[in-house]
Amino acid sequence: MKVLITGAGGQLGSALQRTAPAHADINAIDVDDVDLTDEAMLRARLVVEAPEVIINAAAYTAVDKAEADEDLARAINADAVAVMVEAMAEQGGKLVHVSTDFVFDGTSSRAYRPDDARDPISAYGRTKAAGEDHLRDCDLLVRTAWVYAAGGGNFVRTMIRLMKEREELGIVADQIGSPTWATGLAQTIWGLLDKGANGTFHHSDAGVASWYDFAVAIAEEAHALGLIDRIPRINPITTADYPTPAQRPAFSLLDCRETRALLGSAPVHWRTNLRTMLKEEKALG
């Protein structure tokens, strides 16, 4: 199986390469290889690569910046997806596209199912929803949330840095979801591909957390591993206390039961995966 991975240098792109099955012939490209906003360049590259499967792990993910730069976000998150779908239609291949909990408005009282109505409340969410709209029935859409990995730019590593610098932190406690370790997400994507899955699936780690809960766990686990010398005071604050350009879903827990049932895999709690990631982070030095 000839697979092209976009976003090769990102957290998920890197994890996909590390966890790829032996039967996958991988080529991974990043922004230095092709500009996703240049549709002609992208089309030409896809013709040369001629993949059987594209796993699109590339995205414009600067949620707040997207409010002022929605055109650029749309070019990467939606227009480039349309080009990939067209190429796969012509070449007889399949697109695996990774999307986000931000396509939902966060007003649900239960975990969002794959077929729930979308209603994005940010520019980032709108552009990701627009990307989803280009997929065919034979393509695979995987939504996820709160992704992190060792060595990447993410909430976990930001918290560790701030915990080393500050005596006290205020972390939002009224936005609810579940963290997702990139390695687990990558393994799920490969598993779905091996099952021949198409349509929409959700993946996040098991359990529920606010950003405050996540930060407290990061502090405790990082301290236990010696990544930080002390645990700072962590105070719960509200979204209103920390205004941002982009509005974020207050509740974006994803219902992953269909994914786990198809793969026959037991859910792994987010704190277990956090501990594993932090051990990897420590090993990186």
- Strand bridging mode 176-177 / 209-210: antiparallel
- Strand bridging mode 168-172 / 140-144: unpaired
Torsion angles phi and psi, residue 122, rounded to 5: -140, 160
* DSSP secondary structure code for residue 231 in this structure: P
Residues 6+ apart with CB under 8 A from 149: 11, 12, 14, 15, 181, 182, 183, 277
Residue tagged active-site, from 60, 112, 124, 212: 124
Burial of residue 220 (CB within 10 Å: 0-12, 13-18, 19+) is middle
Residues 6+ apart with CB under 8 A from 39: 79, 80, 83
Has 124 been annotated as catalytic?
A: yes
Contact yes or no for 83/124 (Cβ under 8 A): no
> Could you give the CA distance from residue 210 to residue 32 in angstroms, rounded to a whole number?
35
> Could you give the CA distance from residue 74 to residue 76 in angstroms, rounded to a whole number?
5
Which amino acids are annotated catalytic?
124
